[in-house]
A and B are shown apart, each in its own frame.
Chain A
Amino acid sequence: MKYDIILAGVGGQGILSIAAAIGWAALDSKLFIKQSEVHGMSQRGGAVQSNLRISSEEIASDLISFGSADLILSVEPMESLRYLPFLSDKGWLVSNSKPFVNINNYPPLEDIYSEIKKIKNHILIDAEKTAKEIGNYRASNIVMLGAASPFIDITYASLEKGIKTIFARKGEEVVSLNLRALEAGRKFAEDTR
Chain B
Amino acid sequence: MEKLLLLGAEAIAQGAIDGGVSGVYAYPGTPSTEITEYVQSSGIAKSKGIHSRWSTNEKTAVEAALGMSYAGKRSIACMKHVGLNVAADPFMNSAITGVNGGMLVVAADDPSMHSSQNEQDSRYYGNFALMPVLEPSNQQEAYDMAYDGLEFSEKCELPVLLRLTTRLSHSRASVMLKTPKPENSVKFPKDPIQFVLLPANARKRYKILLRTNAELENISDESVYNRLFNLPENGKSELGIIACGIAYNYLMENLNDEKVKYPILKIGQYPLPKKLINELYNKCDKILVLEDGYPIVEESLRGLLNLENKVKGRLDGTIPRDGELNPDIVATALGKSTKTFFEVPKVVVARPPELCNGCSHRDIYTALNVLIEEYGHQKVFSDIGCYTLGALPPFNSINSCVDMGASITMAKGAADAGLHPVFAVIGDSTFAHSGITSLLDAVNENSPITVIISDNATTGMTGGQESAATGKIENICQGIGVDPEHIRIVTPLRKNHDELVSILREEVNYKGVSVIIARRECIQTAARAKKAEIAKNKESK
Q: Which residues of A does B touch, CB under 8 Å?
A: 10-12, 23, 27, 32-47, 51, 59-67, 78-79, 81-89, 102-107, 111-112, 115, 119
Residues of A within 8 A of B246 (CB): 62
Binary interface encoding of chain B residues 238-252 relative to chain A, with 1 for a CB under 8 A from any of its CBs, else 0: 000000001001111
A65 touches B331 (CB 8 A): yes
B213-267: which residues lie under 8 A (CB-CB) from chain A? Answer: 246, 249-253, 256
B186 within 8 A of A: no
Q: Is the CB of B256 within 8 A of A41?
A: no
B128 within 8 A of A: no
Given contacts A46-B354, A65-B326, A86-B340, 10 further A-B contacts (CB under 8 A): A34-B172, A43-B353, A45-B354, A59-B173, A61-B249, A62-B168, A63-B167, A65-B331, A82-B348, A111-B347
Residues from 176 to 232 in B contacting A, C-beta threshold 8 Å: none
For chains A and B in complex, what number of residue pairs have CB atoms within 8 angstroms?
148
CA distance A123 to B173 in the complex (A): 29
Contact B345 A10 (CB under 8 A): no
Asked whether B307 is an interface residue with its Cβ less than 8 Å from the other chain, the reply is no
Across the interface, which residues of B come within 8 angstroms of A59, CB to CB? 173
Q: Choose the segment among B27-35, B93-101, B153-161 that binds chain A (4+ C-beta atoms closer than 8 Å).
A: B27-35
A38 to chain B: which residues have CB within 8 Å? 114, 170
Q: Which residues of A contact B167 (CB under 8 A)?
A: 36, 62-63
- Complex partner residue of B342 from A32, A40, A85, A105, CB under 8 angstroms: A85
Taking CB atoms, residues of chain B closer than 8 Å to A81 are 344-345, 347-348
Q: Which residues of B contact A82 (CB under 8 A)?
A: 344, 348
Residues of A within 8 A of B349 (CB): 78, 103, 105-107
Q: Is the CB of A61 within 8 A of B339?
A: no
CA of A11 to CA of B170 in the docked complex: distance in angstroms?
A: 15
Q: List 23 A-B contacts (CB under 8 A).
A: A27-B5, A32-B173, A33-B5, A36-B167, A41-B353, A41-B461, A45-B353, A46-B351, A46-B352, A47-B351, A60-B256, A62-B173, A63-B250, A65-B326, A65-B328, A65-B331, A78-B349, A81-B344, A82-B348, A83-B344, A85-B344, A88-B341, A103-B349
Q: Would B341 and A67 count as touching, CB distance under 8 A?
A: yes
B391 at the interface (CB under 8 A from A): no
Nearest Cβ in chain B — how far from A32, in angstroms? 7
Specify the chain B residue showing the minimal Cβ separation from A111. Answer: B347
Task: With CB as the reference atom, state the residue of chain B lying closest to A102.
Answer: B354
Chain A residue, CB-CB nearest to B168: A62
CB distance from B167 to the nearest CB of A (A): 5
CA distance A44 to B168 in the complex (A): 21
Bound form: Cα–Cα A169–B351 in Å: 34
Contact check, B31 vs A39: say whether CB atoms are below 8 A apart: yes
> With A33-B174, A67-B339 known to touch, is A112 a contact of B347 (CB < 8 Å)?
yes
Chain B residues contacting A45 (CB-CB under 8 Å) are: 351, 353-354, 356
Q: Does B386 contact A (CB under 8 A)?
A: yes
How far does the alpha carbon of A86 sit from the alpha carbon of B50 in the complex, in Å? 43
Q: A33 contacts which chain B residues (CB < 8 A)?
A: 5, 172-174
Cross-chain contact B115 with A115 (CB below 8 angstroms):
no
Q: Known interface pairs A39-B33, A40-B461. Does A87 touch B351 (Cβ–Cβ under 8 Å)? A: no
* CB pair A35 B347 closer than 8 Å: no
Which residues of chain B are within 8 angstroms of A51 by Cβ–Cβ distance?
A: 171
Beyond A37-B171, A41-B353, A42-B353, whether A65 also contacts B342 by CB under 8 A is: no
| In the complex, B355 has a CB within 8 A of chain A | yes
Least CB distance, A110 to chain B, in whole angstroms? 10
Check if B67 is an interface residue, CB within 8 A of chain A. no
Q: Indicate whether B327 reaches chain A with its CB closer than 8 angstroms.
A: yes
- A69 to chain B minimum Cβ distance, whole angstroms, is 10
Minimum CB–CB distance from A175 to chain B (whole Å) comes to: 16
B485 contacts across to A, CB distance below 8 A: none
A39 and B354 form a contact (CB under 8 A): no
When chains A and B are docked, how far (Å) is the Cα of A152 from the Cα of B345?
25
**B169: nearest chain-A partner, CB-CB:** A39
Residues of A within 8 A of B350 (CB): 47
Q: Contact at A39–B341, with CB atoms within 8 Å?
A: no
Cross-chain contact A32 with B356 (CB below 8 angstroms): no
Interface positions of B from 322 to 348, Cβ below 8 Å from A? 326-328, 331, 338-345, 347-348
Q: Which residue of B lies closest to A72 (CB)?
A: B342
CA distance A119 to B342 in the complex (A): 9
Given contacts A41-B115, A66-B340, A84-B342, contact A11 B353 (CB under 8 A): yes
Least CB distance from A45 to B in Å reads 4
* B389 sits at the interface (CB 8 A): yes
Chain B residues whose C-beta falls within 8 Å of the C-beta of A78 in the assembled complex? 347-349, 351
Contacts of A23 in B (CB 8 A): 5, 172
Q: Which of B114, B173, B338 contacts A65 (CB 8 A)?
A: B338
Decide if B250 touches A61 in the complex (CB within 8 Å): yes
Judge whether A41 and B30 touch: CB under 8 Å. yes
Whether A67 contacts B338 in the complex (CB less than 8 A), given A34-B171, A35-B171, A39-B170, comes out as yes
* B366 within 8 A of partner (CB): no
Question: How far is B138's CA from A32's CA once the two chains are assembled, in angstroms?
Answer: 14
Contact yes or no, B341 A40, CB < 8 A: no
Which chain B residue shows the least CB distance to A112? B347
Is A60 a contact partner of B249 (Cβ separation < 8 A)? yes
Partner of B31, one of A35, A40, A67, A86: A40
Q: Is B462 an interface residue (CB 8 A)?
A: yes
| B251 / chain A contacts, CB cutoff of 8 Å | 60
**A66 surroundings in chain B (CB, below 8 A):** 328, 338-340
Distance in Å: Cβ of A94 to nearest Cβ of chain B: 15
Q: How far is the CA of A103 from the CA of B340 in the complex (A)?
A: 28
Residues on A with C-beta less than 8 A from B462 are 40
Q: Which of B130-177 contact A (CB under 8 A)?
A: 167-168, 170-174
Task: Mark contacts of B459-493 with chain A using CB atoms, 8 A cut-off: 1 yes-contact digit, 0 otherwise.
Answer: 00111000000000000000000000000000000
Question: Least Cβ distance of B377 to chain A in Å?
Answer: 21
The chain B residue sitting closest to A46, CB to CB, is: B353
Which of A44, A64, A89, A105 is close to B341, meaning CB atoms less than 8 Å apart?
A89
Residues of the B chain whose Cβ atoms lie less than 8 Å from the Cβ of A37: 7, 170-172
Closest to B172 in A: A35
Q: Which residues of B contact A87 (CB under 8 A)?
A: 341-342
Provide the residues of chain A in CB contact with B352, threshold 8 Å.
46, 103
Residues of chain B in range 502-521 having any CB-CB distance to chain A below 8 Å: none
Which residues does chain B contribute within 8 Å of A103, judged by CB atoms? Answer: 349, 351-352
For the complex, give the distance between the alpha carbons of A32 and B34 in Å: 23
